[in-house]
């Protein structure tokens, strides 16, 4: 009887507890959750420190593929990237995958370890204006060289993108160097002559529209293509196909017809698949503009490289890490015309109409954070059932990236080999 009484008392207590009104639980505001998910990060040329450094290091150690979605042409993000290379190198770093074409990557790889690397790139860009994007930046080039030094002699850059719009002359040089037959050679030499005239006109005007890639007619290229198909050889055919694909992407972008962003993304995926087939165990660092590296659909409605690599990692049973790196304010460089030094524009993402998610991140920094410290937000901690209550921008960011890193200020890089600067 005593045991029955105890059991009855416990049942009654349980029933009372179940029927009692629940104590209200105060839900945290998004600003509070953002602050809890954030950690200051000190970024210096010699490495990372501060609370965010441990989060970053642990996430990188666990990942075969590390993807940096960036704002282009700063000085600080290349420094950040060099430090990521140094974290990856002890566990193996096969390549850095970058937003340039395969031929441009070949140009950089050939000079990557030269003692006068910067001068060689400057000379190349002076001779081939606008033949390359991004890796003609002084700071990006230094990062590539530093990563090569940290990773070892087998490290290379993998270029996945279409070539840049001033590349035609270099491609013609490479076609001729490949030893095409007489029919193809005559056509390529004629194209090269037209290209040299177009480049001089583009240097005078500054307009990319004066370059051969945009001035050449379909009829001219079709005629050359027929000859190259006849006796050009495999290398010349591949280079000519790259020229035509590059032209098609830029033309579609200019006319706003077709699907240039999707076509570009598919090209980059195909090229990456080729690299993975050649190096199936590759551990890589990828560095592209932020829109390219979202998981799922990016804000342009594309499933781009970030999604492709995340799915590829899942299929292999390994991890990828997608991190977005941006600045809160400062200055960034921009394209300023054929063969010309960059233009510099100031920005502030924390005030006025230009403000965005970076404003929220800067407001989440703890009081007393040194003004020069960056701020790392672990977006994985913000994925929850109430995601739909957030702004579309934050929903896309949290679903698309794992970590967000914001520098308090960025400064503009410069390019090598410009025709309007010493």
159-176 pLDDT, tens per residue? 999 999 999 999 999 999
Pairing verdict, β 329-334 and 343-348: antiparallel
Question: pLDDT digit string (tens) for 291-347?
Answer: 999 999 999 999 999 999 999 999 999 999 999 999 999 999 999 999 999 999 999
Which pLDDT score, from 0 to 100, does residue 181 have? Answer: 98
Q: At residue 13, does pLDDT exceed 90?
A: no
| E-strand stretches of 228-342 | 284-289, 320-327, 329-334
* Token pair for 185: 């050679």
**Residue 30 Ramachandran class (φ > 0 left, ψ -120 to 50 alpha, else beta):** alpha
Confidence of residue 2 (pLDDT cuts 50, 70, 90): very low
Q: Which residue has the tokens 């990773």?
A: 151
CB 415 within 8 A of CB 125: yes
Confidence of residue 10 (pLDDT cuts 50, 70, 90): very low
Confidence of residue 421 (pLDDT cuts 50, 70, 90): low
pLDDT: which is higher, 135 or 11? 135
CB 99 within 8 A of CB 133: yes
- Output the CA–CA distances (angstroms, integers) from residue 232 to 176, 192, 245, 248, in the order listed: 9, 15, 18, 21
When pLDDT is averaged across residues 137-150 and rounded to a whole number, the result is 97
* Token pair for 419: 């025709």
Q: What is the pTM of this model?
A: 0.91
Confidence of residue 4 (pLDDT cuts 50, 70, 90): very low
Contacts with 20 (C-beta within 8 Å, 6 or more apart), sequence order: none
| E-strand stretches of 246-372 | 284-289, 320-327, 329-334, 343-348
Which pLDDT score, from 0 to 100, does residue 191 have? Answer: 98
Q: At residue 14, does pLDDT exceed 50?
A: no
Which pLDDT score, from 0 to 100, does residue 384 have? Answer: 82
Which pLDDT score, from 0 to 100, does residue 386 have? Answer: 80
* Token pair for 213: 């890639």
- Residues written for the chain: 422
Q: At residue 370, does pLDDT exceed 60?
A: yes
Contacts with 257 (C-beta within 8 Å, 6 or more apart), sequence order: none
Selection from 262, 343, 305, 259 nearest residue 98 by Cα: 305
Which pLDDT score, from 0 to 100, does residue 6 have? Answer: 41
When pLDDT is averaged across residues 365-390 and rounded to a whole number, the result is 92
What domains appear along the chain, each with residue ranges and CATH number?
30-93+283-407 (3.40.1660.10)
Average pLDDT of the chain, as a whole number = 93
Q: At residue 422, does pLDDT exceed 90?
A: no
- Output the CA–CA distances (angstroms, integers) from residue 415 to 122, 208, 257, 345, 419, in the order listed: 8, 17, 31, 15, 11
Task: Write the burial class of residue 138 (CB in 10 Å: 0-12 exposed, 13-18 middle, 19+ buried).
Answer: middle
CB 341 within 8 A of CB 125: no
Dihedral angle, C-alpha 80, 85, 86, 88, nearest 10 °: 130
16-30, 194-208, 244-258, 287-301, range with the lowest pLDDT: 16-30
Partner residues linked to 80 by β-bridges: none
Which pLDDT score, from 0 to 100, does residue 387 have? Answer: 86
Which pLDDT score, from 0 to 100, does residue 326 have? Answer: 98
Task: Write the burial class of residue 109 (CB in 10 Å: 0-12 exposed, 13-18 middle, 19+ buried).
Answer: middle
Which pLDDT score, from 0 to 100, does residue 389 have? Answer: 86
Question: pLDDT digit string (tens) for 180-214?
Answer: 999 999 999 999 999 999 999 999 999 999 999 99
Confidence of residue 27 (pLDDT cuts 50, 70, 90): confident
Q: At residue 275, does pLDDT exceed 90?
A: yes
Confidence of residue 22 (pLDDT cuts 50, 70, 90): very low
């Amino acid at each position: 009887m005593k045991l029955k009484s105890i059991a009855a008392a416990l049942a009654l207590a349980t029933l009372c507890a179940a029927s009692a009104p629940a104590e209200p639980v105060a839900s945290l505001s998004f600003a509070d959750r953002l602050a809890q998910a954030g950690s200051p990060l000190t970024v210096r040329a010699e490495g990372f420190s501060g609370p965010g450094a441990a989060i970053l290091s642990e996430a990188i150690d666990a990942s075969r593929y590390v993807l940096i979605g960036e704002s282009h042409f700063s000085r600080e993000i290349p420094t950040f990237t060099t430090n990521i290379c140094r974290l990856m190198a002890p566990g193996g770093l096969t390549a850095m995958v970058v937003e340039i074409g395969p031929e441009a990557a070949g140009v950089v790889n050939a000079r990557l370890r030269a003692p006068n690397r910067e001068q060689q790139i400057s000379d190349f860009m002076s001779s081939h204006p606008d033949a390359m994007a991004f890796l003609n930046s002084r700071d990006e080039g230094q990062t590539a060289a530093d990563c090569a030094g940290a990773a070892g002699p087998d490290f290379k850059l993998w270029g996945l993108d279409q070539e840049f719009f001033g590349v035609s002359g270099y491609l013609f040089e490479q076609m001729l160097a490949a030893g095409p037959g007489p029919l193809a050679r005559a056509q390529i030499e004629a194209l090269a002559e037209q290209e040299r005239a177009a480049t001089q006109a583009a240097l005078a005007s500054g307009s990319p529209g004066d370059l051969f890639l945009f001035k050449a007619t379909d009829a001219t290229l079709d005629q050359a293509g027929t000859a190259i198909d006849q006796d050009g050889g495999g290398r010349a055919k591949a280079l000519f196909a790259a020229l035509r694909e590059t032209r098609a992407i830029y033309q579609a972008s200019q006319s706003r017809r077709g699907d240039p962003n999707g076509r570009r993304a598919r090209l980059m995926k195909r090229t990456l698949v080729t690299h993975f087939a050649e190096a199936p165990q590759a551990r890589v660092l990828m560095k592209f503009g932020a829109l390219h590296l979202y998981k799922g659909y990016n804000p342009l409605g594309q499933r781009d490289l970030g999604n492709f690599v995340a799915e590829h990692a899942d299929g292999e049973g390994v991890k990828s890490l997608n991190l977005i790196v941006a600045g809160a304010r400062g200055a960034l460089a921009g394209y300023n015309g054929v063969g010309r030094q960059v233009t510099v524009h100031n920005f502030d993402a924390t005030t006025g109409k230009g403000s965005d998610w970076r404003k929220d991140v800067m407001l989440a920094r703890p009081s007393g954070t040194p003004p020069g410290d960056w701020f790392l937000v672990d977006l994985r901690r913000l994925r929850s059932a109430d995601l739909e209550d957030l702004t579309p921008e934050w929903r896309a960011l949290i679903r698309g990236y794992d970590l967000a890193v914001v520098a308090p200020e960025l400064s503009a890089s410069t390019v090598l080999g410009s025709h309007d600067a010493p």
